[in-house]
Amino acid sequence: MSTVQIQEFDIRDYEAIVSLWTEAGLVLRPGDELESVRLKLQRDADLFLVAKKGNEVVGSVIGGWDGRRGWIYHLAVRPSHQRQGIAKALIRELELRMAAKGAKRLNAQVYESNIASLQFFKACGYELRPNLVMIGKALS
């Protein structure tokens, strides 16, 4: 882990991020397109973090801040670099940044079939909220 650096995402690394997400098994959605990522960077670029080993992007996490709560999206680590503390380092840095903004709570959305992620978040102190149901609507 000592050779991995956590830093803010640079748009020049967009193709590397898409490659990482794909390799890590994330399902890409319309919000992951280049123009949508540019919009994210206009709002709170300090919450889109990448882990780099040299020049290689090996991990990422996107934080969202609504002014009250923080949200975790797209936590991913390249499979060849998993189980080295990279995801935990990304989450801890995001937690620090969210707390500095005033967030009292940080939430993540995880597919119930993603047992590894559920176990990871539990190990990081996150609780399953079985009384909540996620709902959504596509706007375009």
Looking at residues 112-132, what average pLDDT do you find? 90
Question: Which tens digits make up the pLDDT trace of 67-113?
Answer: 989 999 999 999 999 999 999 999 999 999 999 999 999 999 888 88
Q: Residue 1: which pLDDT band, with cuts at 50, 70 and 90?
A: low
pLDDT of 2: 61
Q: Which of 135, 68, 57, 138 is nearest to 101 (CA)?
A: 68
- Kindly state the helix (H) or strand (E) to which residue 6 belongs, with its residue range: strand 4-8
Where does residue 86 rank: exposed (0-12), middle (13-18), buried (19+ CB within 10 A)?
Answer: buried
Question: Which tens digits make up the pLDDT trace of 29-69?
Answer: 888 999 999 999 998 999 999 999 999 999 999 999 999 89
Q: Which amino acid is at 21?
A: W
Token pair listed for 53: 């080993």
How far apart, in whole angstroms, are the C-alpha atoms of residue 121 and residue 87?
A: 10
What CATH number should be reported for the domain whose range is 4-123? Answer: 3.40.630.30
Got the DSSP string for 54-79? TTEEEEEEEEEE-SS-EEEEEEEE-G
**What is the residue extent of each domain of the chain?**
4-123
